[in-house]
Chain A
Amino acid sequence: MLFNSVEFVVFLGGVFALYWLVFSRDLWWRNLFLWAASYLFYGWWDWRYLLLLAATSSVDFWVALQLGRVDDPRRRRRILMLSLAGNLGVLATFKYFDFFVGSLEAALAGLGVEAKGLRLHLVLPVGLSFYTFQALSYTIDVYRRELEPSRDPVRFFAFVSFFPQLVAGPIERARNLLPQFGTIAPFDADLARDGGRQMLWGFFKKMVVADNAARIADAVFSGYAERSGAELVVGAVFFAFQIYGDFSGYSDIAMGTAKLFGFRLSLNFRYPYFSRDIAEFWRRWHISLTTWFRDYVYIPLGGSRTGRGQSARNVLIVFLLSGLWHGANWTYVVWGALNGLFFLPLLLRGQNRRHLAPVAAGHWLPSTGDLARILVTFAAVTLTWIFFRSASVGDALAYLGGIVRAGAWSHWPAKAIINSWGLTGALVGVMLAVEWVQREREHGLDLAGVPTALRWGVYQALVVAFFLFAVFEGEGFIYFQF
């Protein structure tokens, strides 16, 4: 079920009430209840997906137990391979098999060889990319002896399937989340209130900002050949805010929901569009995925401890894999490659860790230099988003070509369209303004310490914003397709 649906509101209310009134006194029953609630949440899409989730979770639970018992390095490696093969095999089959077969068919067709009927036409289970990576981080950490294997299957299954973050992250590390399933904390009203605020902010970013930006972006991308240069630029910019509002909004809702139950999930976004270079952007965007690739791909490959050439290779591999993780389309690979190419000069010049403190720390506004860097970084990121959003690499190149072709800027859209852009732009502006002011806090509505009357005024202003601008027609979240 979608977060922005009546079903979820009813589900959450029921689970919250039962959790705190009935199940929060005993750890085992608490975990069993969360496991059941999470499976109900996930099975709402399609109960058959539960079989796959249960199967991969069972394999990983068993693998970790064996890793806890076996000392021989070669045997441990073989046991870990089971988890890797299981999780990555499932991911490869459901997500990439038809993509690579399709590419092979196209290549063979180019050589005059006809090859058909090889595709499996499997539907990608929701959240597969997220929970497989989460489970892999568990088994790899156990293999590395950085974590003790869980001997409680109920606790482990509840951890893997925890509904707030099951379908679109954050990709939680077991060392952060699994211990939380091993303790019961009493109801924390402050944490729950903060969770409620974070959820409200997440819903604002998704339903007011992202879904309105989506209408403009979708209209432009679907008919880009007839659009002027200005429309194409605007379409790309609005997509940049659509994907940010959508994905970071989801993460805020997930984190806020978890807080209602006393759980703390990892931060997944730290105001990435205020980044001063691409390296900082990738420390602030989809943090759980980039740190996963850093810890389980980049560092094992040698990271930056090897020579510059190998460091560059490792970085490119990570960005290409990150692109591929997003989906079975060459557009994602190109998107990843572009980001890698933008990152490389910073790495090679040793400037990829320049901006570690929040921008304009202690000041109201950024310096002129920082503002310029923010805008240039945003422009570079938005350029890569064109590939991410386009249906094919050809479409993306044609889109870019449309911006710079002769006569692209000779006409402007109708006034009504510009007014529509302006209003949506104002909504984006509100989001950016709030997050700028709150850039050193965990989320946009982190209002601890703010007077009550002002806080409640902000809440009700958001209610009016929802009234006027929220899209209620049940738009899904972009990252569900990954």
Chain B
Amino acid sequence: MLRCAAFTALSACVWAASTRLFFNGYTDDYYVRVASPRQAGLILGTSRAAQGLVPAEIDARALGASAPLYNFAFASSLTRYGRAYFEAIERKLAEPMAARTGLFLLEVSPLAISVDTTDAKEFPEQQTFMGKLGSFSADPNVEYPFYAARRGYDIIDRSVRQWRGTARLFLHDDGWLEVKPMADASIEPNIQQKLIDYARAFSVSRSSAERSEYLERTIARLAPRGRVALVVMPIDPRLRALERGYMPDFDGRMQALARRFGANYLDLSDLDARVVTNDGNHLRQDWARTVSREVSARLGRAWAAAAATR
């Protein structure tokens, strides 16, 4: 019995040590976010926000927040608004140091409130770590490896790339996923492929009442804690056209939602023609910083104007 207990304890220690040793910002796109402490201010949404909003470029304190922002956005396959993401957010939230001084930026898009009608599981993210992890702030998060498929391959492949200095992705401690710029010649083919992928996705998707409800619940959960802003990220104009064709009333719905909860609606689609993306959907890293500063500036002006009119 003693040996069995010793074996179990030693194995658990080796498992925890392996988690700490092998998972880092280079080897996994998500782990750092589920192993960092609870946060009082969050950036939420899909990969557009994960790559496009840089916490270090958004002056949260200037915007009245008591803590810096943390990027807790993941990917469309994981963090469309729904029960899994809502419960994960609850487990990531920390109480702000002073009442109502949190800051929350929710990236919104038509796909984030849609479901794939061809998927047997209406909410597939429930079957991923997003729906199954007990904690999103354990360090090391020893549960995470159970849900990270292909981790061995990725850890080895990316560790080699890191060693060679050719790593393309890096997940910062503040949750921002930095993607090294692609060669210019790759961008347009990537955009063309993304347009095909999105056209296919929209052809089999429909607006989801449950996802919309969970977006509302998320806003309702966060609004009492501080300031909330719904953010529409800039993307390639051709992709925007596809989105507007799929969900023509999206802007109206988001504006009404923001008004209902006293949140800001920050539509950055006026920047579509100016920004440079890697694939039409995700901002290039330099433009991620620029857009993040723009978010900071626009929100600052909006809240200053609101304060002045009171």
User: Which chain A residues have a beta carbon within 8 Å of chain B's beta carbons?
Assistant: 193, 196, 419-420, 423, 456, 459-460, 463-464, 467-469, 471-473
Of the listed residues A456, A468, A472, the one surrounded by the most CB atoms of chain B closer than 10 A to its CB is A468
Q: Are A193 and B3 in contact (CB under 8 A)?
A: yes
Most buried by A among B14, B152, B155: B152
What residue of chain A has the Cβ atom nearest to residue B151's Cβ? A468
**Is the beta-carbon distance between B15 and A423 smaller than 8 angstroms?**
no
A463-B15, A467-B14, A468-B155 given; name 4 further pairs at CB < 8 Å. A467-B15, A467-B18, A468-B18, A468-B156
Interface stretch of the complex, out of B141-149, B184-192, B219-227? B141-149
For the complex, give the distance between the alpha carbons of A476 and B146 in Å: 17
Residues in chain A near residue B15, CB distance under 8 A: 463, 467
Q: Separation in Å of the B122 CB from the closest CB of chain A?
A: 19
Determine if B303 is an interface residue (Cβ-Cβ < 8 Å): no
Is B157 part of the contact surface with A, judged by Cβ < 8 Å? yes
Q: Provide the residues of chain B in CB contact with A423, threshold 8 Å.
A: 152-153, 156
Kindly state the separation between the CA atoms of A469 and B145 in the bound complex, as whole angstroms.
10
Residue of B nearest to A212 (CB): B152
Q: Which residue of B lies closest to A464 (CB)?
A: B18
Residue-wise, chain B 151-177 has the 8 Å CB interface mask toward A (1 for contact) of 111011100000000000000000000
**Once the chains bind, are B18 and A419 in contact (CB under 8 Å)?**
no
Counting from the closest, the 8 A-B pairs by CB-CB distance are A468-B152, A469-B152, A467-B18, A472-B146, A463-B14, A463-B11, A460-B14, A464-B18
B240-297 contacts to A, CB under 8 A, are: none
Cα A463 to Cα B15 with chains together (Å): 7
Chain B hits for A469, CB < 8 A: 152
Q: In the complex the two chains form, is A419's CB within 8 Å of B10's CB?
A: no
B198 in the interface, Cβ–Cβ < 8 Å?
no
Residues of A within 8 A of B155 (CB): 468
Query: From residue A218, how far is it (CB to closest CB) to chain B in Å?
Result: 14
Q: Inside 8 A of A196's CB, which chain B residues have their CB?
A: 4
Q: How far is the CA of A342 from the CA of B152 in the complex (A)?
A: 39
Judging by beta carbons under 8 Å apart, are A467 and B10 in contact? no
A464 to B17 alpha-carbon distance, docked (Å): 10
**A193 to chain B: which residues have CB within 8 Å?**
3
Contact A460 B146 (CB under 8 A): no
Complex Cα distance A96/B233, Å?
A: 58
Shortest beta-carbon distance from A163 to chain B in Å: 21
Residues of chain B contacted by A420 (CB below 8 angstroms): 153
Residues in B neighbouring A460, C-beta threshold 8 A: 10-11, 14
B18 to chain A, nearest CB (A): 4
The CA-CA distance from A467 to B145 in the complex, in Å, is: 7
Which residues B10-31 have CB closer than 8 A to chain A?
10-11, 14-15, 18-19, 22
Given contacts A468-B22, A468-B152, contact A419 B14 (CB under 8 A): no
The residue in chain B whose Cβ has the minimal distance to the Cβ of A420 is B153
Q: A419 — which chain B residues lie within 8 A by C-beta?
A: 153, 157
CB-based contact B149/A473 at 8 Å: yes
| Distance between Cα atoms of A163 and B153 in the complex (Å) | 35
- Interface flags for B124-147 (1: CB within 8 Å of A; 0: not) read 000000000000000000000111
Cα–Cα distance between A460 and B19 once the two chains are bound (Å) = 14
Could you tell me the distance between the alpha carbons of A460 and B151 in the complex, rounded to whole angstroms? 18
CB distance from A459 to the nearest CB of B (A): 7
A150-B147 Cα distance, complex, nearest whole Å? 48
User: B58 to nearest A CB, angstroms?
Assistant: 35
Query: Which listed residue (B7, B145, B149) contacts A459, Cβ 8 A?
Result: B7
Give A472 to B19 CA distance when docked, in angstroms.
16
B3 CB → nearest A CB, Å: 7
Q: Please tell me if the beta carbons of A456 and B10 are within 8 angstroms of each other in the complex.
A: yes
Residues of A within 8 A of B3 (CB): 193
A464: B residues at CB distance < 8 A: 14, 18
Q: Which of B92-130 contact A (CB under 8 A)?
A: none
**Closest chain B CB from A2 CB (angstroms):** 15
Minimal Cβ-Cβ distance residue in B for A473: B149
Give the distance in Å from the alpha carbon of A419 to the alpha carbon of B145 in the complex: 21
Cα A456 to Cα B155 in complex, Å, equals 25
Ordered by A's residue number, 23 sampled pairs between the chains whose C-beta atoms are within 8 Å are A193-B3, A196-B4, A420-B153, A423-B152, A423-B153, A456-B7, A459-B7, A459-B11, A460-B10, A463-B11, A463-B14, A463-B18, A467-B14, A467-B19, A467-B22, A468-B22, A468-B151, A468-B152, A468-B156, A469-B152, A471-B149, A472-B146, A473-B149
Residue from A193, A463, A471, A473 with most neighbouring chain B CB atoms (10 Å): A463
A469 to B157, CA, bound (A): 13
* Distance of A474 Cα from B215 Cα, bound (Å): 32
**Cα–Cα distance between A62 and B10 once the two chains are bound (Å):** 51
Cα(A469)–Cα(B154), bound, Å? 10
Q: With A and B bound together, what is the CA distance between A463 and B156 in angstroms? A: 17
How long is the Cα–Cα vector from A402 to B151 in the complex, in angstroms?
A: 32
How long is the Cα–Cα vector from A459 to B15 in the complex, in angstroms?
A: 12
Report A-chain residues with C-beta under 8 Å of the C-beta of B10: 456, 460
Chain A residue with the shortest CB-CB distance to B147: A472
Kindly state the separation between the CA atoms of A468 and B146 in the bound complex, as whole angstroms. Answer: 10
Complex Cα distance A471/B152, Å? Answer: 10
B149 partner residues in chain A, CB cutoff 8 A: 471, 473
Q: Chain A residues with Cβ under 8 A from B14's Cβ?
A: 460, 463-464, 467
User: Given the complex of chains A and B, what is the CA–CA distance between A467 and B14 in angstroms?
Assistant: 9
Residue of B11, B22, B146 most packed against chain A (CB within 10 A): B11
Give the docked Cα–Cα distance between A64 and B14 (Å).
52
Bound-state CA distance A456–B156 (Å) is 25
Minimum Cβ distance to chain A for residue B164 (Å): 14
For B18, list chain A residues within 8 Å (CB): 463-464, 467-468
